[in-house]
Structure 1
Amino acid sequence: MSEFLELDATIPESSAGLRLDRALADVFPDYSRSRLQQWLKEGAITVDGATRRGRDPVKGGETVSVRAALAPDAPSVAPEPIQLDVVHEDDDILVLNKPAGLVVHPGAGNPDGTLQNALLHRHPHLEQIPRCGIVHRIDKDTSGLMVVALSDRAHTTLTEQLQDKSVGREYEALVSGTFTAGGTVDAPIARHPRDRKRMAVVASGRRAVTHYRIAERFSAHTLLRVFLETGRTHQIRVHMAYIQHPLVGDPVYGLRPRLPKRADDTVRDALAGLGRQALHAARLVLQHPATEETMAWETPRPADMDAVMDVLREHDRRMAL
């Protein structure tokens, strides 16, 4: 069943001259601009008893009434009791450490068993929140931190923070090859012109900026700390491949495993056997939607990445003897 919403408010005198949709965003901050605009189009919002257009100016002092159904965002997605590694949870947000292998949204080939199924089981009310509260995503085979909005207010605020790039996201990436220093990749990304399942650096693409610094060196590989300035699909994976340093284990953008000199079977098996891109969302920083407090979380690398790095360290130690 959809929840029916009834709200009444007065537009403050200080809003005089603003467009109605802008004034409504100030009066009802718990709801997104897009949702308020949709309600205006549906006639679910009245001003002094009459329907109005979003672009109409307000004078201040008008009475606004909302009578709207909060339709479920994804009614076809079934709740499933999937265990989640929750790092933080309150009335507005849930921060989790997503394991590699967990798909975020249902889709072709993954109709169930996703993070969205798990969230709907844990919080059934999320069917009333756009995209079930998922404001950003990480790839199926990338591990690490994600934040989920548990309220309309949080969804609106977190979406705005992501758009204005105030959410800090830091990744750990094990890549092929060595570096002399950190740097930045500023290269636009779009769908690959021939393979629509892949992304690529394309001149006509959307701007994408990735910053990186060296965290640990190996003889033929490097662990990088990677900072996203933008959030394009597969951004880190595409950018690292573009500069000829693909992620270890990347099945889409990687090359054959790059081996250190005199690599033995242990090294070969470790690099070939990871089975996913060596990428982990290690740190997340954001402003809490309700308290406006700056909050940060960190989570350690998963065991599979650490195991590969242990093999590389041991190989380099033996070669140095």
Structure 2
Amino acid sequence: MPIKKRDFIAGAAATLLMAASIGTASAQMELKILAPAAPGGGWDGTARAMQQVLTATGIGKSVQVNNIPGAGGAIGLAQFVNTAKGDPNQIMVNGFVMVGSLITNKSPVNLGMVTPIARITAEAEVIVVPATSPIKDAKDLVAAMKADLAKVTFAGGSAGGVDHILAGLLAGTVGLDGSKVNYVPFSGGGEALAAMLSGRVTAGISGWGEFEGQIKAGKLRAIALATPDRLKDNPTPTLKEQGINLELINWRSVMAAPGITADQKKAISDVIDKMVKSKEWKEVLVQRGWDDAYLPEPAFGEFLKTEQVRVEAVLKSVGLVK
């Protein structure tokens, strides 16, 4: 039976409308981003930067951020594993810190229980002291550690995370016992900052972006970066410049829920890919002092496996894990 022209046009229009609807739905996902830490820290900052960019670019239709702090991200990860299974609209921010804390805390959940999407940023680790501290540089800090390691207190993120590892490696590099470092973990950068500003700890360790505002305001003194080279337009010397052969870089990533389909994983991966390639995201990187460390699947999954082995070896080397 012949198809009338008007029927063909109507059918084609309906098909195009349906395709547009599907395209819009896939391009504008309604996302819930879990930041497994308290407000004010690196994961929270990353999640909210993602929320800002995804919303501003229209890549995300609506984007919510939920904070679940505790145990270096293990509590948030456990809830994500248990409640987000099969949900393609839920993602989680994590990174180096979680890799270390899960090992240190002997967590019953692990990163093999969720779906890897991509590594998105890297950030320089910085050691700071209150502006009123007599410690002026890394050499002064090391001298204080050698005089009485127990009296030198470090504030940072979760036990076993990148900040803790840097403190342990610093002690080990200068001939001290890394397992005996007096380290005070906090669930968020805001709490660590408060401890720094109140003078309750000797020094603080975190990503540059978390302390940058207080450094520029003159309330904190940056004494060393754990980077291979100095940051652009940043006068803070590296540990290596000060005779301490040590460097350590933090990274952050995005994971999706367990039990999603291959198509759902691709849809989330496409959203993150569009985000990291947007000019809005590149502006955020500059504003926050983050490096573009984008590594999508499947390379990210392989990196994650290798990194877990490497971090466990480092934790053992400084006595944080038996």
TM-score normalized by the length of structure 1: 0.24
Larger Rg over CA atoms: 1
TM-score normalized by the length of structure 2: 0.23
Counting strand residues as a fraction of each chain, which structure ranks higher? Answer: 1
